Structure 1
Amino acid sequence: MSVSALALVVTVGILPAFGITMVVIDQLAKRIAALGVWVVDRVAIIYLMFTAMGAVVAWWLGLLPWFALWASPGWGLPVALLLSPAAAVIPYFIELALSSAGEGSRPSLGIGIFLRDAEPAVGALLDRPLTWWIVAAGTALTEELLFRGAVLHAVLSDRGPLLAILASAVVFGLHHVAFGINAIIGKIFAGLLWGALVLLAGSILVSITAHLLFQYLVWRRYRKVRAQKAW
């Protein structure tokens, strides 16, 4: 098995593993009331556990090259860091525009696989800001290790930069299937930008930065929507 195929197996394999786990928890929650809170309120934490385990497996298999974590001297990193705010804002507003265009029809793809829409799971953490940010930052870090660290560099070594950026972006988008098709498209676009920044900078530090900025924008949106509903 090639390095790129192995990286894809690890990252794509997280999806069915996570989905099956949520199905099992959902079924058990019907019989054990104490598990009910894990179906929605803890789903983001469970996903973080899976991405963290995936990152550990990727490292153990040698899919996370050390040079991907540290930028080499040169102009690439500062330029990429200057571009990272735009790389966070642009896909954020694209996703908002897609969501606005599709208002009135709730996404069913994620519900069909994971039984629950992911929006309530994210919103459930808003009352615990510290927990929300631990999960948000942890998810950003582990996803970047997996997609721009493992997948991007594995495919890069086998197939070149264009397919590397595309493959890492598509898998990244598929990992957001529970949020619906608009989120998948938005995350693929974000993945394309962030992958290009990583190749420019020579380090995933820049994609982690863009991802955290994106998470901050999401945090602001959820807080704003929550405040408007309170009125």
Structure 2
Amino acid sequence: MSPTEAVLVVLAGVAAGTINTVVGSGTLITFPTLLAFGVPPVTANVSNNVGLVPGSVSGVIGYRRELAGQRARVLRLGAASLIGGTAGALLLLWLPSAAFDTIVPALIGLGVVLVVLGPRIQRSVAARADERGGIPDHGVWWVWPAVALAGVYGGYFGAAQGVLLMAILGIGVADSMQRHTATKNVLALIVNAIAAVVFIAVAEIDWEVAGLIALGSVVGGQIGAGVGRRLPPDLLRAVIAVVGVVALVALVS
């Protein structure tokens, strides 16, 4: 890889790390960049995943203040992400890429709709939960399996995983958007990390590419935390919806 290409990959990593921390979908920047520089698709996919893990760690650290008091919730939902992410990574190795071609855009579209309608749906969910004694700290009953399914998707592909997680948390867990973002970052990190472990064990990693993306995504994670924390709830929700739509268009075009 030439010096110019290396710099562009690092910059793509910065952009991806920033977007992943705030919303998700950073893969839609780094993956096409690698393909444009001639990296084979499967190698690009797994190397990109490995490279973005340090950026996910950076994003979690950047949002550590909003994680205060969420230990039990993160541990419970993190188990769902761990199981789902492992299953998704194994599916990527076993199934042809066409297997998810139809369901991925549908999931992203659903996530965007749920993020937009989240406050209204959440009020309805909360009202019904109040009749049963209120929403538990870890969310209503379906949050755990929904997070696990999002983990399957994230381990398999990953782009816009954050949109789905924000929709699930925003509707099923009673808390602020900023604290949901912090939780989302931890859950996405778990999925990405377990997928990276699987890929390192069984797939061919381009370590130069992974290292360049890692370098950029670590910087991007800190930028994303600074930007995301300043966004008011409605604006953050709008940003998530826009990124989700862009991801949807990119996938179906």
* TM-based fold match above 0.5: no
- TM-score normalised by structure 2 residue count: 0.32
Which protein, 1 or 2, shows the higher relative CO under an 8 Å CA cutoff with sep ≥ 6?
Answer: 2
